[in-house]
């Protein structure tokens, strides 16, 4: 007798189902908690900063628009599916193929009838939520009191309402198309639409549903065609933005007619829903398509070919003028002061006497070059760094405005190497220290900057008052730091090292970040930064704060997400606090008739490679907001710099009470704000074409200008520069920004001459809440063609071609040195244009310390090359320029002969410097050898020490020999 063993019991299906459901629930909860942690930390960050309403407004508008989009799609789709199903023919004969389709679909019918609308509703909701800003501007839009020249509507309609209407029409059209699609599918599956023996049969209910949907769709198209008339005012039309003769006389009338025809066709579809005949609406639809081809394409082409092209100037002048006027208004160019300027090109003795105040502030310390020098002199510890290039500002020193080169000493945690532990990088090395300020127009005897504020601890004119040098919020701050502690607790944050590496510590005492004293907050931030140390660290206390999002530009962007921010945030000191100043722009691409330009391309130059901008194409811009970020506690303050800007007025309704009035800006802060760089770049780009004042010149296009390429970077435009100077006609120098123009199409084979010179007054004054009257005044010098003035490229070529210059530079390059040419400044002084270029020398070794050694100057075709700017100007202008400079009292290294005598352009004759070039080159070799010997001594490398000592001895012997010959 045999027995069969019983099979092993299978795992209960119920258990597997419970486990699967549990895992899904756990996964959903984990994901939900991560999402919650991200939202909660955002709430804490905005709450600490005092901008909770910015976050709440964004959340509210997004959720509201999601709901509108979801319901706006889901309800019509659900209704169409329900109608198509419920009104299906009950006794319709179906084909065997449809029977099989129904067998597959029927078990899922209920799920599909609800699932399809929800599916499309989610997509529509997400799409609608991305349009919340467009909707918010429509709801809160204001009137501008300016009307367009074509339809005479307020420009606010184009900037606030038209984009919303366009979005609504696009969304509604998509909803109707999807409704038509799902209605057709359901009607076909359930027999309302049948194809039998090459005949299409549609039930009455389906006919009514299709006809109504088609009629509503065509009504929307009629409204869209009517709206397209207004869109022509912001459309690119070839040479101009906005309607031209063809658009006004052919395209716009054609759109009106097509809109009427589309409305009539829509009515015919509604009639079909009642009477049941498809012939008339289908014929009308075909006529609509033919009309669209004739009126939308053929007729405009005929008008353009027959009327416009043979008579373009006479017919288009009116529209060119409209475009020019609107562009000037939209880009703030309508107040420009243009002056014809007959420039002198001959240099005579005492010619700069009347411009002595301007020449006194000529910057010879190039912020793009001296960064390594400041780093070597002011770094102190390897974990500090300075921004490169440095920033520029001005300070009142002894009652005189002093142009300055500035930079903040920030952390460089990558220099910690193996010591870059979590506690070191998060709780000990938490902040930078101090602002370094150097004169822009001065140098030491060995070519280094003259500092006004420097050192650790800080010393200088700022430190004489109550001054907070610590920098917790900067452009290179750590991703996050945990700081703060109870009163009386031992500080752990490293402030600086004093004396023989004695540590001076501090504890952050501001309100700079959310509190992480509770375990829950520590948990959510541990998740946010993927760092379990935040959760388990014993050094975090009940008063600890977490500082993050510390870049000043990022903080302002989060506080005011509607602003386009300038790329050049700069530090300054106001009331004893280091603050970052950030310029904010409100922009639009919908100002009628204004020229549309690429913002990113307009601001790209040698100092700023092409950035990525979210809203790139613009035809309207205002510097509506100036923001400050406190470098100690990160507090963000927004000031309404242009309260008349309609875009800012609209956003202030969306985010009320976030922007302070200009009256709240202190006089000290006012003295440090300036005309923003990116706005000036956009304006100079536009003025290259729109500096002309009459349509005829605009049409010919033979007087277009461009910004010259940077002489030191031929692949990028020369950046504008800040400088205290007086334009012709100004009584006294003002802090200004300037740029130059050359003819468009200038190449290496064409003459690179100066055509225009643009400056903007950047001095806002020092009165609380009141801008100086001339702030933002654009002044253009149009240079007479009778006396050609060399452009920057030609001047640089003249410099490089000078025998004494090239000989000097070649000798330096043969040693252990590199020669760096500084910024080429163009100044309207002496009745003409003076070019100034500092020349720096640095070691070719690992340690870079650029020092100013020579200054090149040019006026007309005459060039001088000297140790100081004062000597160079005197040499250029007959021995006495009459100018004052910041380096006139500097004593440089002795030279047996004039270190650089005035010369002329190649072919123009001129003297040579004798033996001074060789003397200076040898002197640099001696300096390099002395530095190398000292470094070898510190390292204990006696072989390198002996070699450097021999080089130094040889250089000194040669110097003595040259001096004897002199």
Q: Which tens digit of pLDDT belongs to each residue from 819-871?
A: 899 999 999 999 999 999 999 998 877 778 899 999 999 999 899 999 999 99
| pLDDT at position 962 | 62
User: What sign does the dihedral 347-350-351-355 (CA atoms) show?
Assistant: positive
CA 409 from centroid of its chain's CA atoms? 24
Q: Which segments of the chain have a pLDDT < 50?
A: 1, 894-915, 966
| pLDDT at position 174 | 96
* Both tokens assigned to 922: 């040898």
Q: Measured between alpha carbons, how far is 707 from 684 in angstroms, rounded to an integer?
A: 8
| pLDDT at position 466 | 86
Identify the three-state secondary structure at position 507: coil
**Residue 872: which of 860, 861, 888 has the closest Cα?**
888
Burial of 729 (C-beta count, 10 Å sphere; 0-12/13-18/19+)? exposed
The model's pLDDT over 288-311, given as tens digits with 9 standing for 90+, comes to 999 999 999 999 999 999 999 999
| pLDDT at position 701 | 87
| pLDDT at position 99 | 62
Burial of 162 (C-beta count, 10 Å sphere; 0-12/13-18/19+)? buried
Contact 735, 631 (CB under 8 A): no
| pLDDT at position 512 | 94
In the chain, helix, strand, coil percent, each to 5? 45, 20, 35
Burial of 848 (C-beta count, 10 Å sphere; 0-12/13-18/19+)? middle
Burial of 314 (C-beta count, 10 Å sphere; 0-12/13-18/19+)? exposed
Counting DSSP H helices and E strands in the chain, the numbers are 29, 36
Contact 702, 331 (CB under 8 A): no
| pLDDT at position 896 | 33
Regarding pTM above 0.85, the answer is yes
Identify the three-state secondary structure at position 490: coil
| pLDDT at position 515 | 96
Residue 958 Cα distances to 238, 566, 945, angstroms = 68, 53, 20
**Residue 928: which of 821, 867, 848 has the closest Cα?**
848
The model's pLDDT over 444-457, given as tens digits with 9 standing for 90+, comes to 988 999 999 999 98
Task: Report cis status (omega within 30 of 0) of the bond before 457.
Answer: yes
Identify the three-state secondary structure at position 460: strand
**Residue 516: which of 543, 536, 491, 479 has the closest Cα?**
543
**Residue 825: which of 782, 792, 777, 786 has the closest Cα?**
792
| pLDDT at position 712 | 86
Residue 285 Cα distances to 45, 134, 269, angstroms = 57, 33, 10
DSSP 8-state class, residue 363: -
Strand intervals (E) in 719-871: 721-725, 734-743, 756-761, 778-783, 817-821, 825-827, 834-843, 851-859, 862-866
Pairing state between β 636-640 and 709-710: unpaired
Contact 66, 131 (CB under 8 A): no
Beta-carbon contacts of 474 under 8 Å, excluding residues fewer than 6 positions away, are 408, 410, 432, 550, 551, 552, 571, 580, 631
The model's pLDDT over 719-732, given as tens digits with 9 standing for 90+, comes to 999 999 999 989 89
Q: Measured between alpha carbons, how far is 601 from 102 in angstroms, rounded to an integer?
A: 58
């Amino acid at each position: 007798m045999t027995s069969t063993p019983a099979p092993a019991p299978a795992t209960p299906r119920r258990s597997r189902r419970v486990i699967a459901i549990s895992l899904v629930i756990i996964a959903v909860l984990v994901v939900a908690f991560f999402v919650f942690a991200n939202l909660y930390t955002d709430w804490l960050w905005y709450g600490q900063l005092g901008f909770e309403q910015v976050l709440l407004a964004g959340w509210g508008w997004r959720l509201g628009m999601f709901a509108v989009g979801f319901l706006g799609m889901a309800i019509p789709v659900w209704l169409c599916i329900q109608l198509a199903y419920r009104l299906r023919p009950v006794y319709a004969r179906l084909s065997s193929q449809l029977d099989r389709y129904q067998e597959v679909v029927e078990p899922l019918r209920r799920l599909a009838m609800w699932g399809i609308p929800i599916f499309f509703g989610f997509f529509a909701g997400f799409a609608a939520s991305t349009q919340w800003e467009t909707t918010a501007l429509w709801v809160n839009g204001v009137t501008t009191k300016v009307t367009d020249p074509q339809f005479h509507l307020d420009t606010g309609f184009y900037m606030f309402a038209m984009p919303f209407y366009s979005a609504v029409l696009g969304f509604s059209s998509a909803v109707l198309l999807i409704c038509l699609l799902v209605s057709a599918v359901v009607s076909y599956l359930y027999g309302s639409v049948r194809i039998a023996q090459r005949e299409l049969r549609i039930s009455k209910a389906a006919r009514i549903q299709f006809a109504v949907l088609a009629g509503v769709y065509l009504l929307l198209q009629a409204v869209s065609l009517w709206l397209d008339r207004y869109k022509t005012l912001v459309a690119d039309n070839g040479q101009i933005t906005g309607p031209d003769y063809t658009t006004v006389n052919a395209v716009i009338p054609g759109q009106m007619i097509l809109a009427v025809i589309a409305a009539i066709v829509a009515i015919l579809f509604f009639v079909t829903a009642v009477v049941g005949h498809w012939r008339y609406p289908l014929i009308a639809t075909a006529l609509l398509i033919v009309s669209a081809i004739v009126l939308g394409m053929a007729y405009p082409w005929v008008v353009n070919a027959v009327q416009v092209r043979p008579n373009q100037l006479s017919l288009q002048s009116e529209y060119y003028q409209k475009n020019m006027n609107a562009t000037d208004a939209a880009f703030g160019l309508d107040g420009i002061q243009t002056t014809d300027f007959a420039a002198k090109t001959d240099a005579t003795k005492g010619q700069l006497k009347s411009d002595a105040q301007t020449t006194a502030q000529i910057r010879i310390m190039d912020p793009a070059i001296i960064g390594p020098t400041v780093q070597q002199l002011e770094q102190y510890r390897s974990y500090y760094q300075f921004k490169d290039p440095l920033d520029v500002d001005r300070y009142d020193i002894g009652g005189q405005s002093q142009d300055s080169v500035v930079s903040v000493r920030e952390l460089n945690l990558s220099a910690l190497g193996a010591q870059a532990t979590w506690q070191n990088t998060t709780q000990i090395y938490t902040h930078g220290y101090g602002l370094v300020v150097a004169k822009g127009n001065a140098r030491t005897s060995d070519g280094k900057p003259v500092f006004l504020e420097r050192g650790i601890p800080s010393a200088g004119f700022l430190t004489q008052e109550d001054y907070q040098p610590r920098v917790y919020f900067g452009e290179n701050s750590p991703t996050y730091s945990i700081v703060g502690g109870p009163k009386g607790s031992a500080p752990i944050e490293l402030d600086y090292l004093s004396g023989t590496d004695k540590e001076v510590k501090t504890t952050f005492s501001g309100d700079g970040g959310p509190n992480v004293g509770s375990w829950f907050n520590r948990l959510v931030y541990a998740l946010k930064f993927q760092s379990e140390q935040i959760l388990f660290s014993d050094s975090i206390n009940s008063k600890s704060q977490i500082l993050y999002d510390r870049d000043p530009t990022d903080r302002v962007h989060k506080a005011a997400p509607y602003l386009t921010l300038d790329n050049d945030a700069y530090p300054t000191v106001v009331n004893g606090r280091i603050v970052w100043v950030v310029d904010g722009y409100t922009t639009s691409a919908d100002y009628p008739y204004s020229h549309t330009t690429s913002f990113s391309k307009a601001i790209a130059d040698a100092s700023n490679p092409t950035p990525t901008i979210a809203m790139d194409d613009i035809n309207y811009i205002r510097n509506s907001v100036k923001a400050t970020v406190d470098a100690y506690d990160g507090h963000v303050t927004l000031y309404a710099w242009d309260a008349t800007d309609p875009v800012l007025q609209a956003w202030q309704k969306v985010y009320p009470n976030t922007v302070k009035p200009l009256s709240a800006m202190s006089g000290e802060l006012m003295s440090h704000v300036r005309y923003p760089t990116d706005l000036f770049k956009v304006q100079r780009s536009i003025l290259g074409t729109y500096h002309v004042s009459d349509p005829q010149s605009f049409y010919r296009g033979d007087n277009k200008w461009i910004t010259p390429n940077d002489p030191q970077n031929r692949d990028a435009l020369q950046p504008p520069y800040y400088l205290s100077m007086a334009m012709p006609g100004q009584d006294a120098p003002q802090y200004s920004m300037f740029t130059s123009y050359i003819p468009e199409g200038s190449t290496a084979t064409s003459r690179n001459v100066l055509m225009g010179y643009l400056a903007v007054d950047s001095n806002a004054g020092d009165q609380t809440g009141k801008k100086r009257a001339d702030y933002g005044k654009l002044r253009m010098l149009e240079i007479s063609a009778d006396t050609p003035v060399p452009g920057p490229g030609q001047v640089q070529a003249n410099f490089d071609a000078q025998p004494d210059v090239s000989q000097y530079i070649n000798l330096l390059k043969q040693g252990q040195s590199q020669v760096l040419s500084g910024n080429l400044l163009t100044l309207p002084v002496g009745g003409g244009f003076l070019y100034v270029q500092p020349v720096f020398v640095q070691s070719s070794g690992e340690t870079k310390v650029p020092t100013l050694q020579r200054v090149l100057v040019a006026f007309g075709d005459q060039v001088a090359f000297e140790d100081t700017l004062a000597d160079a100007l005197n040499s250029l202008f007959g021995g006495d320029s009459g100018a004052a400079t910041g380096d006139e009292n500097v004593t440089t290294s002795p030279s047996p002969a004039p270190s650089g005598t005035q010369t002329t352009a190649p072919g123009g004759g001129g003297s040579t410097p004798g033996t001074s070039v060789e003397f200076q080159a040898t002197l640099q070799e001696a300096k390099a050898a002395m530095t190398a010997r000292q470094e070898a001594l510190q390292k204990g490398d006696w072989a390198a020490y002996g070699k450097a000592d021999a080089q130094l001895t040889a250089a000194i012997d040669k110097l003595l020999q040259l001096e004897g010959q002199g």
